[in-house]
A and B are shown apart, each in its own frame.
Chain A
Amino acid sequence: MPFLAPLALAGLAFIPLIVAFYLLRLRRTERTVSSTYLWQQLVRDLEANAPWQRLRRSLLLILQLLLVAVLVLAAARPFLERTAGLARDLVLVVDASASMGATDVFPDRLSAAKRAAIEALAGLPADGRVSIVAAGETARVVANEVTDRGRAADAIEGIRLSNASGDLGDALKLAGALAARARGAEVLVVTDDASRHVPEVRLAVPIRVLTVGRERRNQAIVALAVQTGAGGVKRSLFVSVANLDTQAATRRLQVLADGAPFTARDLFLDPLTRTEVVIDELPQGTAIVEARLTAVDGAAGPTGPADQLAADDAAWAIVPSDRLQRILLVGPGNVYLQNALSLLPSVELYGVSGADYAKTTGLEKFDLVVFDGFLPPTLPDKPILAIAPPRSSALGTVTGTLTGPYIATPAPDEPLLHDVDLTRLHVATAQRLELPAWARTVIPGPKQVPLLYVGAREGLPTAVLAFDLHQSDLPLQIAWPILVANLSGELLGRDASTLHPIAPGAPVELLLPPGSAGMRVSAPDGSATELVPGATGASTVTFVGTGQLGVYRAEPIPAAPEPLPSGATPSPAPSPSPSPSGSEAAAAVGPVRFAVDLFDPEESNIASGDGARLAALGGPPAAGGQAGIARDEWWIPIALLALLLLLAEWLVYERDGARRILGALRSALTLRPFRRGRA
C-alpha cells in the first residue's frame, strides 16, 4: 500500500518509546496496605519472565501501542490508485437556479446536485485542479483552480439557491473561458436540465452532464397584476396559474390584502395549461396583494399535496396609490397633452393660460405644473414638466433651434422609455438646449443634444421636452401616452417601474425624493440596505439585492441639515419661504414598495432532462489524452479505528467507573417493570 506521506511512518518510533516508558516508569502512587504478603507472591508469579512478562498482560499498553500504530498509519495517508474518471483540469458548473429548489429529491435538487458534484470530484486525478462556477442569477466563479478537495467541497457547499431564472449560457461561456486555459480540460455540469431553452454557446472542450430530479409535479402563479378601472376607483386582480404537470391538479388560490385573507378559490387545473382568474373589487386602501397557491384540504392523491417547488407558489403585487393628484397645465391649450394627462389614473387636471398664470392662487395645492411653450419669470417650487421652453431659465439654457433633428439611440435601461417605441418619431423643429448638471438625457438628439431630459432641480423632479408637440408626430403614436405615464410616475413620485413585478436578481432604480440623502431598502426577511447616491445631485439609486421573493420597502433617508455659515444665527421667526426644508420634504414622502416575483413558466417547469442537449454543446475529447490516476485515501476508516481504540483504552482505564455505570443501568432496567407494575 503506497503512502502520500511516508515520512510520517517515522512516528512508529514512538512504539518502543512507549514500551520503554512502561518498563522504566518510576513514578508510582504509594498506597499503604495491611500486608503485601499476597502481593509479593503475586508479583513473583507475574515476573516469572520479567520484564516481558509484565508487558504481556497489560491491555492498556497493547491498546496504546495499537493506537499509536493506527495514528501513524493515518498520518502517512495510505491510498489506493485507480484510473481517474475526469480530466486533470475540470470546470464544474453547479446549477443554482430557482428550479433547483424542487423537492422531488431529498432534501432538494440543489443539495442533491452538491452531493453529486462532491462525489464526482473523487474521479479527479491526484494532481487534478477544479474550478467551480455557480450558475444562479449570474454566473459566478466560487473556486478557481483548486487542488484541495476539501476547499472544493467547501466551495460547493457554499453555493446558495437563487430565486432567479437560470440561464446556463453565461455559466457555460464562463466555464469555456476557464477551461481554455489548460489543455485537455473538460466541463462538468450538474443541473436538472429543466429549461427547454438551449443556451446559444459552443464550447471547444467536452461537456459532461450530471442530472438531478425525477418528477415534474408543479403548479405556479405565473402572473399577478392589479388593474385599475376606467374610473380610477375600482381595482381588480388578475392572476394566472399554470399547471406544468402532466396530470390534472386541484389547488386553492388564496388572496391576501395587506396580509389579511381576502378571498380563496379552488382551481381545477388541466395538465399543461394556464388558468386565468380575475378577482374584482379589491378592498379600498389596499397597498399590497399577495396570492398563494396551496393544497386543497382533504384532497388526496396527486392533486392533494403541495407541489414540489415552493418559490412560485406565492406572488405579490403593489397596488397603485389611489390618492388624487392635481396637475396644472399652463399654456395656450394642447389637446394631445390634455388627453394624455387626463388619462392618468387618480389625476385632476386644471388648465390656465400663460397670461393668467400670474394671477393664479393656490399653487401649493398642485403636485405638478406643466408649462407648454411658456415660462413664468419665477418658477414655482413644484415638480415641473416644461415643453418647448421659449427662453433660458433654471430649467435649462436655450442656445438656438434644431431643425429636423434625428433621434439618437437612447440608453437601453432608461426606465422612462419602458415600452416606449421611438423608432418612428419625427421632429420638425426643437429648441437646442444644454443639458444641466442636475439632469440626465432621456431622448438624445444629434450630437448628444437632449430632446428630453429629467432630473432633480434643487431636489424637485423636473423634465424638459425640447420640442413642441405640434412640431412632431409623437402625439400621434402609441408611445405618447406611455411616455406621459412614465414621466408622471417620475414627476409625481409615482414610480411606475416599481409597480411592475421585478424579476429576482434584477436591479431596481429608485427615485430619490427631494432632500433625501439616500434610500433604506428593507428586504422581505427584514434585513435592511442603505443606498447612497454615487454622485452629488443624482436623482436615483440602484438596488441590486433583489434575490429574495416578496415585497421590499424603500424609505428615504433624510439629509442632515446644512450647517449655518460662520457667524450666522438661526432666525427665531418662521422662514418666509413656503418651501419646506430638505429633510422635511424627504420625511413627507412615503415609502416606496416593490414586489419581486418569479413569474417564469420556463423556470417553474421542473421536468428534468437527460442533459444530452447540454452535452452536445461541448467539443470532442482532446486527442491523445491519457487518463490520469486517481487516489482513494484510507485515512477516514483508519481515523475511525483510532477513535474506537481511544474509546476502548479509556474504558479499560476507567473500568471501575464503567462498571458502576453499567451496574446503575442494569439496576435501572430491572427496576423499571416493577415501577410499571405499581403504576
Chain B
Amino acid sequence: MSDPRAEPTAAEAPARHDLLPAAVDPTVFDEAFLRQLERLMLVTRKAVRGGMKGVRRSAKRGVSVEFADYRNYTIGDDLRTLDWNIYARLEKLFVKLFIEEEDVTVHILLDASGSMGLGAPDKLLFGKRAAAALAYVGLASYDRISIAVLQGRVARRYPAVRGTGRIFQVLADLSSVKAAPGPTDLAACARHYAAQLTQRGPLILISDLFDANAERAISELAGTRCEVAVLHTLSPDELDPPLEGDLRLLDTESGSGVDITADLATMDAYRARLTAWQAGLDAVATKRRAAYVPVPTTLPLADLVFAELRRRRVVA
C-alpha cells in the first residue's frame, strides 16, 4: 500500500497551478502555507466508523498495535490473535482485540446562495478559500473530503476525495461554484444533505446564514450526529453598512425592497440587531453542540485557520 502522505509525483506537480481556480489567488496556497496546513488535523471528539484505513481511532476493533480488549475465542478467529500467555496460565483461549484506525469523512458545506455573491471582499470567494484550506487539512490527514454546495433547495455534492493529491480536484470543483440567482432555502438544503449523509464526521458549514430558517438548518445538520462547525461569514459592509440617507434596500435573492432612513439611530439599531442575531445563532449552535465561528471576510485565511479555528477547537 502506498503511503498516503507521499508528495505529489513529479508529473502531477507542474499541473498544480493550472488546476487552481482562476478566482483563487495562487499566492494564498503557496508551498509554505500548504506545509503549515499539513501539520493540522480536523478535530473529532468521538471515534466514528470509517470506510478505509486511516489515522483516526475507529469505533471498530482492528489490527493496529494499540491493545483494546480481550474476548473469548470463537471458531474462525485468526489464531494469530490468540494470547498464548493467558492460555498457559488459565488454559482458556482468549483473543486480543486491537484499536482499529480508520479515516473519517469531512463534510464541507458551502453556501452558494445569491447573498454570498456580494460583499467586499466577496463572501463566496472567501468561503471557497476557507473550504479549500480545510479540505487540504483533511486530505493531509488521510480523511475523506466531501464537498457540497447549497443552492436553491438542494445540496449538490461533489464526489468524495481522499489523499493530498486530490486537492487539485477539490480546487477545480470549488472554482466552478457560482452564486446562484434566486432564493435559497438553507434549511431545505441542510435537510437534503442530511438525508444523503452515510458516514459521520466533522461537518463544516460556510454560510452567511441570511435566511429566516438558518437556525433550523443548523439543527438539521446537528441532527446528523456529525460534529458541526458553522463559519458565519459576513463582509464589513454587512457588519457596519456604509449607508446614509433615505434608501430602498433591494434583496439580491428575492428582489424585495425595504425602505429605510439611514441615520444614526437606525444604524445603531441595525448593529444591535446584528449582535442579537449572532448571539441567537451562537446559542442555537451551542445548544446543539456545534461550534459557531463568526468570520469577517477581511480576516486573512492564515489567521482563520491557524488562530480562529484552532481557538474554537475545530482544528488542532
CA distance A404 to B247 in the complex (A): 111
Which chain B positions have C-beta within 8 A of A656? 242, 244
CA distance A151 to B269 in the complex (A): 54
- The segment from B8-16, B150-158, B253-261 that touches chain A is B253-261
A33-B263 in contact (CB<8A): no
Which chain B residue lies CB-closest to A33? B249
Cβ-neighbour of B246 out of A28, A33, A35 (below 8 A) = A28
Known: A57-B263, A652-B264. A38 touches B251 (CB 8 A): no
Known: A36-B250, A38-B270. A30 touches B257 (CB 8 A): yes
B211-A37 in contact (CB<8A): yes
Cβ-neighbour of B245 out of A29, A39, A59 (below 8 A) = A29
Known: A35-B253, A38-B277. A30 touches B260 (CB 8 A): no
Cβ-neighbour of A34 out of B208, B247, B258, B261 (below 8 A) = B208
Q: B208, B243, B260 — which one has the most chain A CB atoms within 10 A of its CB? A: B260
Complex interface residues of chain B between 203 and 253 (CB less than 8 A to chain A) = 208, 210-212, 235, 238, 241-253
CA distance A45 to B115 in the complex (A): 23
B247-A30 in contact (CB<8A): yes
Which chain B positions have C-beta within 8 A of A180? none
Which chain B positions have C-beta within 8 A of A36? 249-251, 254, 256-258
User: CB-defined interface of A29-60 with B at 8 Å, one 1/0 digit per residue?
Assistant: 11111111111111101100000001001111
B270-A42 in contact (CB<8A): yes
- Kindly state whether residue B40 has any CB partner on chain A within 8 Å: no
- Kindly state whether residue A323 has any CB partner on chain B within 8 Å: no
Q: A36, A45, A58 — which one has the most chain B CB atoms within 10 A of its CB? A: A36
Which chain B positions have C-beta within 8 A of A57? 263, 265-266
User: CB-defined interface of A19-30 with B at 8 Å, one 1/0 digit per residue?
Assistant: 000000101111
B269-A42 in contact (CB<8A): yes
A38-B273 in contact (CB<8A): yes
Cβ-neighbour of A29 out of B247, B252, B274 (below 8 A) = B247
User: CB-defined interface of B193-211 with A at 8 Å, one 1/0 digit per residue?
Assistant: 0000000000000001011
Known: A28-B247, A656-B242. A35 touches B115 (CB 8 A): yes
A-B contact count (CB 8 A): 99
Which chain B positions have C-beta within 8 A of A42? 260, 266, 269-270, 273
A45-B277 in contact (CB<8A): no
CA distance A337 to B115 in the complex (A): 121
CA distance A30 to B251 in the complex (A): 11
Which chain A positions have C-beta within 8 A of B172? none
CA distance A43 to B115 in the complex (A): 20
B3 CB to nearest A CB, Å: 45
Which chain A positions have C-beta within 8 A of B244? 655-656
| Number of B residues with CB within 8 Å of any CB on chain A | 40
Main secondary structure of the interface of B (DSSP, over half): mixed
Which chain B positions have C-beta within 8 A of A41? 273, 277
CA distance A59 to B245 in the complex (A): 12
Which chain B positions have C-beta within 8 A of A655? 244, 264
CA distance A33 to B255 in the complex (A): 10
User: CB-defined interface of A326-356 with B at 8 Å, one 1/0 digit per residue?
Assistant: 0000000000000000000000000000000
CA distance A36 to B259 in the complex (A): 10
Which chain A residue lies CB-closest to B235? A34
- Kindly state whether residue B99 has any CB partner on chain A within 8 Å: no
Which chain A positions have C-beta within 8 A of B211? 37
Cβ-neighbour of A54 out of B210, B261, B264 (below 8 A) = B261
Known: A42-B266, A54-B261, A57-B265. A34 touches B252 (CB 8 A): yes
| Number of A residues with CB within 8 Å of any CB on chain B | 28
B248-A43 in contact (CB<8A): no
- Kindly state whether residue B191 has any CB partner on chain A within 8 Å: no
Which chain A positions have C-beta within 8 A of B241? 33
Which chain A positions have C-beta within 8 A of B248? 28-31
A37-B210 in contact (CB<8A): yes
Which chain B positions have C-beta within 8 A of A37? 210-212, 251
A34-B118 in contact (CB<8A): yes
A58-B249 in contact (CB<8A): no
Which chain B residue lies CB-closest to A656? B244
- Kindly state whether residue B123 has any CB partner on chain A within 8 Å: yes
B48 CB to nearest A CB, Å: 35
Complex interface residues of chain B between 251 and 305 (CB less than 8 A to chain A) = 251-254, 256-261, 263-266, 269-270, 273-274, 277
Which chain B residue lies CB-closest to A43? B258
User: CB-defined interface of A47-75 with B at 8 Å, one 1/0 digit per residue?
Assistant: 00000001001111000000000000000
User: CB-defined interface of B120-139 with A at 8 Å, one 1/0 digit per residue?
Assistant: 00010000000000000000
CA distance A655 to B244 in the complex (A): 9
A66 CB to nearest B CB, Å: 16
B263-A59 in contact (CB<8A): yes
Which chain A positions have C-beta within 8 A of B249? 30-33, 36, 39
Which chain B positions have C-beta within 8 A of A38? 210, 270, 273-274, 277
A53 CB to nearest B CB, Å: 11
A45-B243 in contact (CB<8A): no
A31-B259 in contact (CB<8A): no
A34-B238 in contact (CB<8A): yes
Which chain B positions have C-beta within 8 A of A39? 249, 258, 260, 270
A33-B251 in contact (CB<8A): yes
CA distance A57 to B264 in the complex (A): 9
CA distance A207 to B244 in the complex (A): 65
Q: A28, A58, A59 — which one has the most chain B CB atoms within 10 A of its CB? A: A28
Which chain A residue lies CB-closest to B245? A29
Which chain B residue lies CB-closest to A657? B244
A402 CB to nearest B CB, Å: 103
B142 CB to nearest A CB, Å: 37
CA distance A32 to B119 in the complex (A): 11
A293 CB to nearest B CB, Å: 67
B258 CB to nearest A CB, Å: 5
Which chain A positions have C-beta within 8 A of B264? 59, 652, 655
CA distance A70 to B1 in the complex (A): 89
B252-A32 in contact (CB<8A): yes
Q: B211, B253, B261, B264 — which one has the most chain A CB atoms within 10 A of its CB? A: B261
Which chain B residue lies CB-closest to A55? B261
A43-B252 in contact (CB<8A): no
CA distance A37 to B264 in the complex (A): 20
Cβ-neighbour of A35 out of B208, B257, B259, B266 (below 8 A) = B208
Which chain A positions have C-beta within 8 A of B258? 36, 39-40, 43
CA distance A283 to B264 in the complex (A): 83
Which chain B positions have C-beta within 8 A of A60? 263
B146 CB to nearest A CB, Å: 27
User: CB-defined interface of A267-283 with B at 8 Å, one 1/0 digit per residue?
Assistant: 00000000000000000
Which chain B positions have C-beta within 8 A of A652? 263-264
B252-A35 in contact (CB<8A): yes
Which chain A positions have C-beta within 8 A of B115? 34-35
Which chain A positions have C-beta within 8 A of B277? 38, 41
Known: A28-B259, A58-B263. A34 touches B119 (CB 8 A): yes
CA distance A27 to B245 in the complex (A): 11
A34-B210 in contact (CB<8A): yes
B247-A32 in contact (CB<8A): no
A32-B118 in contact (CB<8A): yes
Which chain B positions have C-beta within 8 A of A35? 115, 208, 210, 251-253
B210 CB to nearest A CB, Å: 3
User: CB-defined interface of B78-117 with A at 8 Å, one 1/0 digit per residue?
Assistant: 0000000000000000000000000000000000000110
Listed by A's residue number, 24 A-B pairs whose Cβ atoms lie within 8 Å are A28-B246, A31-B243, A31-B247, A31-B248, A31-B250, A32-B249, A34-B116, A34-B210, A35-B251, A36-B249, A36-B251, A36-B257, A36-B258, A37-B210, A37-B251, A39-B249, A39-B260, A45-B269, A46-B266, A57-B265, A58-B263, A59-B264, A59-B265, A656-B244
The 7 closest A-B pairs by CB, nearest first: A35-B210, A57-B265, A34-B115, A28-B248, A36-B251, A34-B118, A39-B258
Question: Chain A residues in contact with chain B, CB under 8 A?
Answer: 25, 27-43, 45-46, 54, 57-60, 652, 655-656
4 extra A-B contacts, CB within 8 A, seeds A35-B115, A652-B264: A28-B259, A32-B249, A34-B118, A35-B251
